[in-house]
Structure 1
Amino acid sequence: MRDRLLALIAGLLFPLAFAPYDLWPMLFVSIGAGFFCLQQADSAREAFLRGWLYGLGIFGFGISWVHVSMHDYGFMPLWMAIPFTAIFAAFLALFYGLSFYVSWRLGRSALVFAGSWLVLDWVRGWLLTGFPWLYAGYGLIDTPFSPLAPIGGVWLLTLTAVLLASTVIQLRLPGPQRWLAAALSVLVLASTGIAHTLTFTRPSGEMQPVALVQGNIPQDLKWQLSMRERTREIYHDLTATIPDGYLVIWPESALTEFYQTITDFVEQEGEALAARGGGFITGVPWRTVDNGGITYRNSIAAIPLRGEDGLERVYHKQKLVPFGEYVPMQSLIRGLIPFFDLPMSGFTAGNPTQPNLNALGHTIAPFICYEILYPEQVASRSHGADALITISNDAWFGTSAGPLQHFQMARMRALETGRWLLRGTNNGVTAVIDDHGKVVDALPQFERDVLLSQYQPRQGTTPFMITGVWPWLVLAVILLVAGARFRIRK
């Protein structure tokens, strides 16, 4: 019972390594304590239970903010929202239960622990559309280990955190596994030192002025029909204060009307900025009517919409949020509770082959809200791009830790690709992030304002952009196989 309680407490320590707490040493304490609990398990079943309790601590604390959108904006009673959030956390905890189970079966070494952790994190990122949240590597973005990100992304950082933390415990145990784990840990530390000397991307033009407009329209008012005219006024007035020559960015669904409904207004804003030597990119819902019916999409467009080649400069979001932007099995569950009928929850995903956007002569890779969390998608679209842009509306999660965790994970994409990231949001965090993942400028949350800054266009390719997750998955499997061989010899 004591070790089960320790596993739960160890999991509760894990989120403290992430925003808004940023106590990154707690990451190693948490993982090390979890590995210790695994070592003390006397059966695979007990190892699974301890791993599940560890994961329950991670997600029970780390994503407790999910209930905010359900209760505050999804009109779900609190007595329902909290259990729904708990069920979600309990499901996600199964991945850590499986990791501990596999590790126990294959010899309980630090190598196997790190390998199984990485594989199951990867599975969690795509299974049932995926929930790629709170990967261990994100906790290392502001540490000396961060230069590993352009080489192996958040995956290599995750492997590093788990391997180093578990090796410290492994060294106190008998057997040859401890020396293998120690040797690999030394190699990781040496690679980190070398990574500090490497640069993979280079400037590709002069610094470009950019203005990110933060409308700060309360979520409980944003979708009301009576707010439509006022919303236009807010964004128009804020944009009118921006000097000439700026790339102006409005956030996700800045305007809650379809582009096809407010074409004149949006195009006039774009033309006015163009006349002053600027550019305009905005998030806007999109509606397409064809023989197959009506399709709705969550989109981002460069205005004027049609470029010199006559093609539309619009990107439709690919990774949709379950229940927020589409409802799985909607024919069965729509109407059961108000949460399943949130505004704009009937979107269709965009085509993966869509081109990037172009603004003021620069190619910009666009990402909308949740999809900035997918490392491979961002890495793939970044080829040939001068900068990254992500727009979001994190007002769904109020003053909780959710928006700050989201912001931290977005910063990792800039580091992985060696490109500046422009992040426009409705109520924060609106920011400009450099190619090292550092915040250059940012607006406070929950303020209506314009962030005037600049970014550096960059070109080049990082190793992670070329390889993605695959080398690290292969390494993880090798660690699992090696652990199995040691287990057979015992």
Structure 2
Amino acid sequence: MRYRLLALMAGLLFPLAFAPYDLWPMLFVSIAAGFFCQQQAGSAREALLRGWLYGLGMFGFGISWVHVSMHDYGFMPLWMAIPFTAIFAAFLALFYGLSFTLTWRLGRSALVFAGSWLLLDWVRGWFLTGFPWLYAGYGLIDTPLAPLAPIGGVWLLTLAAVLLASTAIQLRQSGPQRWFSLGMSALLLAGTAIAHNLTFTQPNGAMQPVALVQGNIPQDLKWQISMRERTREIYHELTATIPDGHLVIWPESALTDFYQSTPDFVEAEGRALEARGGAFITGVPWRTVDNRGVSYHNSIAAIPLISEDGHERVYHKQKLVPFGEYVPMQSLIRGLIPFFDLPMSGFTPGDPSQANLHTLGHTIAPFICYEILYPEQVATRSHGADALITISNDAWFGTSAGPLQHFQMARMRALETGRWLLRGTNNGVTAVIDEQGKVVDALPQFERDVLLSQYQPRQGTTPFMATGVWPWLLLAVILLVAGSRFRIRE
């Protein structure tokens, strides 16, 4: 029983390594304690239970903020929102139960533990649309291990965290496993030392002025029809204060009306900024009518919409949030509870082949809210882009840890691709992030303001952009095979 309790407590320590706590040493303590509990299990079934308890602690604490959107803005009573969140956490915890029991069956070594952890994290990122949240590597973005990100992304950082932490426990045991684990850990540390001196992207032109508008519209008012005119006034007034020559960015769904219902206002804003030597990019809901019927998109557009060559400069979000932007099996569950009828919860995903946005002579790779969490999508779209832009509306999660965790993960995409990231949000965190994942400028949360800053266009290809996750999945399989060759000698 004490090892089960220890596994749960170890999982509870895991989120402390992430924003807003940023106690990154807790990441290693948590993983090491979890590995120790797995090694003490007397059966594969017991290892499964301990792994599930570890995951339950991790997600029960780490994503407890999910209930905020359900209760505060989805009109779900608290007595229902908390159990829904707990069920979600219990499901996600199964991935760590599988990792623990797989490690127990294949030799209980640090190599197997790290390999199975990485493989199941990857599966968690796409299974049933995926939930790529709280990967261990995110907790290392402000540590000496961070230079591994351009080489292997958050995946290599996750592998490093798990292998280093579990190897520290394995050193207490005899047998060849500990030497293999120690050797791999030494290679990772040597690679990190080398990576500190590597640069994969280069500046592509002068610094560019940018202005990110944070409207801070309260979420409980944002979608009311009576608020539409006031919302336009807020963004127009804030934009009018911006000096000439800036790229101006409004956040996700800055306007809650479809572009097709308000083209005159949006285009007028774009033409006014263009006349002052600037440019305009905004998040806006989109309605398409064709021979297949009517579809709706969560979109980001460069305004004026039509470019000089006659093409629409608009990107439709590809990775939609389940229940937030679309409702699975909606014919069965819509109307059961108000949460399944949130505003704008009937979007259609965009085509993966969409082009990036072009403005002021540069190419910008766009990402909307949740999809900045998908490393491969960002890496793929970053080829040929001078900078990244992500817009979001994290007001759904109030003052919880959710928006700050989201911001931390967005920073990792800048580091992985070696490009500056421009992040515009409704109520924070609005920021400019450099190619090393460092925050250059940021606005405080929950304030109505404009962030005036600059960004450096960059070109080049990082190893992670070139290869994606596949080399690290292959390495994880190799670790599984190598680690299972010899049993631990107690």
TM range (shorter): over 0.9
CA deviation map 1:269-303 (0-9, x unaligned): 00000000000000000001122211000000000
Question: Does 2:421 correspond to 1:421?
Answer: yes
**Aligned positions of 1:12-161 closer than 5 A:** 12-161=12-161
**Aligned positions of 1:7-406 closer than 5 A:** 7-406=7-406
Matched residue of 1:142: which SS?
Answer: coil
One-letter amino acid of the structure 1 residue matched with residue 267 of structure 2: E
One-letter amino acid of the structure 2 residue matched with residue 273 of structure 1: L
> Partners in 1 of 2:106 and 2:174 — Cα distance?
16
Once the 2 structures are TM-superposed, how far is the Cα of residue 322 of structure 1 from its aligned partner? 0.1
CA deviation map 1:408-437 (0-9, x unaligned): 000000000000000000000000000000
> Partners in 2 of 1:17 and 1:128 — Cα distance?
27
Q: Aligned residues: percent identity? A: 87
Once the 2 structures are TM-superposed, how far is the Cα of residue 485 of structure 1 from its aligned partner? 2.0
Q: Give the equivalent residue in structure 2 for 1:6.
A: 6
Matched residue of 2:181: which SS?
Answer: helix
One-letter amino acid of the structure 1 residue matched with residue 382 of structure 2: S
Once the 2 structures are TM-superposed, how far is the Cα of residue 173 of structure 1 from its aligned partner? 1.0
> Partners in 1 of 2:244 and 2:385 — Cα distance?
24
Once the 2 structures are TM-superposed, how far is the Cα of residue 195 of structure 1 from its aligned partner? 0.2
Once the 2 structures are TM-superposed, how far is the Cα of residue 31 of structure 1 from its aligned partner? 0.2
One-letter amino acid of the structure 1 residue matched with residue 353 of structure 2: T
Question: Unmatched 5+ residue regions in structure 2?
Answer: none
Matched residue of 1:485: which SS?
Answer: coil
TM-score norm. by structure 1 comes to: 0.99
CA deviation map 1:302-361 (0-9, x unaligned): 000011110000000000000000000000000000000000000000000000001111
Matched residue of 2:486: which SS?
Answer: helix
Once the 2 structures are TM-superposed, how far is the Cα of residue 390 of structure 1 from its aligned partner? 0.0
> Partners in 1 of 2:359 and 2:28 — Cα distance?
43
> Partners in 1 of 2:118 and 2:250 — Cα distance?
36
Matched residue of 2:4: which SS?
Answer: helix
Once the 2 structures are TM-superposed, how far is the Cα of residue 174 of structure 1 from its aligned partner? 1.6
Question: Unmatched 5+ residue regions in structure 1?
Answer: none
Matched residue of 1:367: which SS?
Answer: strand
**Aligned positions of 1:471-482 closer than 5 A:** 471-482=471-482
One-letter amino acid of the structure 1 residue matched with residue 390 of structure 2: T
One-letter amino acid of the structure 2 residue matched with residue 237 of structure 1: E
> Partners in 2 of 1:405 and 1:70 — Cα distance?
18
Matched residue of 1:34: which SS?
Answer: helix
> Partners in 2 of 1:486 and 1:204 — Cα distance?
51
One-letter amino acid of the structure 2 residue matched with residue 266 of structure 1: V
One-letter amino acid of the structure 1 residue matched with residue 214 of structure 2: Q
Once the 2 structures are TM-superposed, how far is the Cα of residue 97 of structure 1 from its aligned partner? 0.1
> Partners in 1 of 2:42 and 2:163 — Cα distance?
22
> Partners in 2 of 1:282 and 1:108 — Cα distance?
51
One-letter amino acid of the structure 2 residue matched with residue 460 of structure 1: G
One-letter amino acid of the structure 2 residue matched with residue 217 of structure 1: I
Matched residue of 2:485: which SS?
Answer: helix
Matched residue of 1:199: which SS?
Answer: coil
CA deviation map 1:86-118 (0-9, x unaligned): 000000000000000100000100000000000
> Partners in 2 of 1:290 and 1:153 — Cα distance?
40
> Partners in 1 of 2:242 and 2:370 — Cα distance?
28
Once the 2 structures are TM-superposed, how far is the Cα of residue 483 of structure 1 from its aligned partner? 2.1
> Partners in 2 of 1:487 and 1:324 — Cα distance?
47
Once the 2 structures are TM-superposed, how far is the Cα of residue 487 of structure 1 from its aligned partner? 3.6
CA deviation map 1:447-477 (0-9, x unaligned): 0000000000000000000000000000000
C-alpha contact 2:174 2:489 (8 A) present in aligned 1: no
> Partners in 1 of 2:460 and 2:6 — Cα distance?
46
Matched residue of 2:395: which SS?
Answer: helix
One-letter amino acid of the structure 1 residue matched with residue 228 of structure 2: R
One-letter amino acid of the structure 1 residue matched with residue 119 of structure 2: V
> Partners in 2 of 1:172 and 1:290 — Cα distance?
66
One-letter amino acid of the structure 1 residue matched with residue 41 of structure 2: A
Matched residue of 1:347: which SS?
Answer: coil
Instruction: Output the aligned Cα RMSD.
Output: 0.9
C-alpha contact 2:108 2:488 (8 A) present in aligned 1: no
Q: Give the equivalent residue in structure 1 for 2:458.
A: 458
> Partners in 2 of 1:484 and 1:186 — Cα distance?
20
One-letter amino acid of the structure 1 residue matched with residue 86 of structure 2: A
C-alpha contact 2:109 2:484 (8 A) present in aligned 1: no
One-letter amino acid of the structure 1 residue matched with residue 355 of structure 2: P
> Partners in 1 of 2:187 and 2:487 — Cα distance?
24
Q: Give the equivalent residue in structure 1 for 2:468.
A: 468
Once the 2 structures are TM-superposed, how far is the Cα of residue 488 of structure 1 from its aligned partner? 10
Matched residue of 2:326: which SS?
Answer: coil
* Runs of 4 or more above 3 Å deviation: 487-490
Once the 2 structures are TM-superposed, how far is the Cα of residue 489 of structure 1 from its aligned partner? 11
> Partners in 2 of 1:75 and 1:252 — Cα distance?
22
Matched residue of 1:308: which SS?
Answer: coil
